[in-house]
Amino acid sequence: MGEAQRHQVTEVPLVRATTTEHRLYRVRCPHCGRATRAALPADVPSGAFGPRLQATVGVLCGRYRLSRREVAAICGEVLGAPLAVGSVDKLCHATSAALAAPVAALQETLPQAPVVHADETGWKQAGQRRVLWVVASQLATVFHIATSRGSQVLKDLLGEPFGGHVVSDRWSAYTWIAATQRQVCWSHLARNFQGLADRGGMAAQLGTPAVAVTKELFQIWHAFREEHQDRGQLVAAMRPVQAHCRALLQEGTRNPDGSTQGLCWSLLDLWPALWAFVTQEGVEPTNNAAERALRPAVLWRKGSFGTQSDGGARFVERLLTVAATCRQHGRSLLDYLTAVCTAAQCGHPLPSLLPVTVSAQGP
């Protein structure tokens, strides 16, 4: 046998925090007895933890949903910056407070948005029922934990009256918005129709052809998007689909199956809200934007069982909002949080998450 191969093992250095110690000496004048203490340099914030470490803790807790104890362990073992669990929690609350104004600025843009996607899911706070709402526009994705799943929460977020279009499911909290300003999610409707088809019997008389209509609708929509067709082509292609769908729903209002009949009457009442995506620029036939935004929040809820206080709820809202909006604009969450924490610690103006042109013009 030949000489055995020798494998060189290269050790990858661990990431280590940089520790800078500032010693502020105090001296006393031997003549007048007055004590004088040195001051920190102007660019050095007060406190034991720098903004980069504070931002890293915020990312680990808020983006990667690690527990306070796990974050403390990572900081000690990986970063070489030992932290107590209480210090981790204190840094999270400080980051949340620093994000209050930037997140409020994002929320102020929602009433002027031409199109928003909205959805909600359950949440828990100290064992009590809460609701986590999300509203996503082209500029921002805003989360809000409320005590209610009612329409007033959405009215407070969007303003009343709201002049844009809302893409959502058929939950009653959205009925205050005129049907001409709504787009009902066709992914939800596809599941409704498939459920009728799977039940068989009289329900399948509507469900089976409605599933076929839905598939045709999405084929036309995908062709419009992928082949860069103009709006006129989409309108023309959808006319027979709309006619077929209306005929099915009208026939379904006479279906002996009660739930099938109720669905048909409901969709006929919402008829304009089924087709806003055909004529309105920026409106899509599904609510995927809001549902995708909610997935990290649902994972957070499953891993943590919710929050224990109002302060914890604000941290969740703000970190979810900032993480989702950074992702929208292709920005680094860690870099943005570092900039915010630096400004907050040094008393400087807080950086905005809005694009430069929007920030200059105002919401």
32 or 363, which is more confident: 32
Specify the pLDDT at position 1. 41
Q: Is the pLDDT of residue 46 over 90?
A: no
362 or 133, which is more confident: 133
**Bridge-partner residues for 162, per DSSP?**
none
Three-state SS for 87?
Answer: helix
The model's pTM: 0.87
- pLDDT tens, residue by residue, 63-109: 999 999 999 999 999 988 899 999 999 999 999 999 999 999 999 99
Specify the pLDDT at position 22. 75
What's the token pair of residue 48?
A: 């034991």
- The number of helices, as runs of H, and strands, as runs of E, in the chain is 14, 7
Region 274-303: mean pLDDT is 95
Cis peptide before 363 (omega within 30 of 0): no
Q: Is the pLDDT of residue 40 over 50?
A: yes
Region 249-253: mean pLDDT is 95
Long-range contacts of 44-51 (CB under 8 A, 24+ apart): 45/342, 45/345, 45/346, 46/345, 47/345, 48/87, 49/83, 49/87, 49/91, 50/20, 50/345, 51/338, 51/341, 51/342, 51/344, 51/345
Which pLDDT band, with edges at 50, 70 and 90, does 158 fall under?
very high
Specify the pLDDT at position 318. 97
Order of strands, sheet of 165-168, starting from the edge strand that comes earlier in the sequence: 141-146, 128-136, 115-125, 165-168, 182-184
Amino acid at the residue 230? D
Give the whole-angstrom CA distance, residue 206 versus residue 193.
8
CB 153 within 8 A of CB 173: yes
Region 138-144: mean pLDDT is 97
Averaged pLDDT of the chain: 91
- Of 154, 186, 160, nearest to 273 by C-alpha is 186
- pLDDT tens, residue by residue, 192-236: 999 999 999 999 999 999 999 999 999 999 999 998 889 999 999
Specify the pLDDT at position 33. 83
